[in-house]
Chains A and B, each alone.
Chain A
Amino acid sequence: MKIASQDAGKSRRARRSEPVILFSVAHQMFAVSADSVQEIRSTDSMAGAANEIAQPLLAKVHHTIERAHRKYYVVNACTHFNLPVTRPTLVLILRQLRVAVLVDKIERMAEINAVYALPRAFIGDERRWYRGLAHVADNVIPVIEPTGFLTREEFLALDRVTKAAESQREMEGAVQA
């Protein structure tokens, strides 16, 4: 037998709100959990800290940035989501992942009460890109899955390329010295 008060408690817990950052890329709005973003910087302020990847493996990753002795791969969200390429002005530096994401602008912060599962009609890359969908005001907005920006294989391949490039630079430096 179910006890009504327990169900009510579960319902209340399930309704706990989650702070999200609403950002836009190519006029498309997305939500990302505020907890998964470590820092938001303007692209101008990061220009000096960015290193270009000489031979990019992935169309969406052309740069790395160093933050606190950690290398982050900079993912262009337009390319990642197959959206028209715009000129991003902000970088979202993610927490716990070596990923920074180029976006157009931050719309605002919001609280969401639930993340609804992506309907099963969706069978493509979006199942990796999104945790689900959320209602924000009168909009249905995809909620980003931070691990969806780069797969494990993509990380490994990028690590190989950037390490090889660093080794080459070190050798060239040693020869010049």
Chain B
Amino acid sequence: MTGAENADRSSFVLLQVGERRFALPSEIVDELAPPVRLHTFPHTSALVAGVIVRRGHIVPVYDVAPTLLGKESPAHRFYLIAQRTFDKSGEASAIPLNGECELATAEVQPPGEGRPAYISGTLEIGEETVELLNFEALVTHQSDEPADASHPGTQS
């Protein structure tokens, strides 16, 4: 691959939620954390499952599986820590994952027709089509919007 070709391709983290893989832009991803204890307390914020403590910081955990899969995902193996932007600053935020992550470079293709706002594009990774997530849109997705259970899947 030439340098010019590389310039058009961006870097993404491929992550597994349930049985599906999604992608996030690598620049917003901090790290993959082990399955530390989830601390829960009463609140009314949709999608927020609780908090974890990571490197001495309190990090909110977003349960995105019901949005992405239309159901709860099985036991979590890792937390992906990504930066959510508020005004001009960021907040480390965690999403539970079911498998390890992979770094990939690919060209972003437009999302399929009628896909939810939190799907900002698709990536061709080998023979697999992986949907690219808009993290902000995902974690602010309203639960009264239709869940993404009907999507046929991304394995091609």
Contact = CB atoms under 8 A, between A and B. Distances in A.
B58 A133 contact: yes
Contact of B58 (A28, A119, A124, A129): A119
A142 B39 CA distance: 10
Contact of A120 (B41, B43, B44, B86): B86
A99 B60 CA distance: 30
Contacts of B59: 119
7 contacts: A30-B41, A82-B44, A121-B45, A125-B43, A129-B42, A133-B41, A141-B41
B20 interface: no
Interface of A: 28, 30, 81-83, 116, 119-126, 129, 133, 135, 138-142
A15 B53 CA distance: 19
Contact of A122 (B37, B39, B60, B84): B60
Contact of A140 (B45, B58, B84, B91): B58
Contacts of B37: 138
B51 interface: yes
A125 B139 CA distance: 18
B44 A139 contact: no
A172 to B, nearest CB: 41
A116 B92 CA distance: 14
Nearest to B52: A140
A120 B58 CA distance: 11
Nearest to A29: B41
A40 to B, nearest CB: 21
A133 B42 CA distance: 12
B79 interface: no
Contact of B84 (A28, A83, A121, A135): A121
B42 A121 contact: no
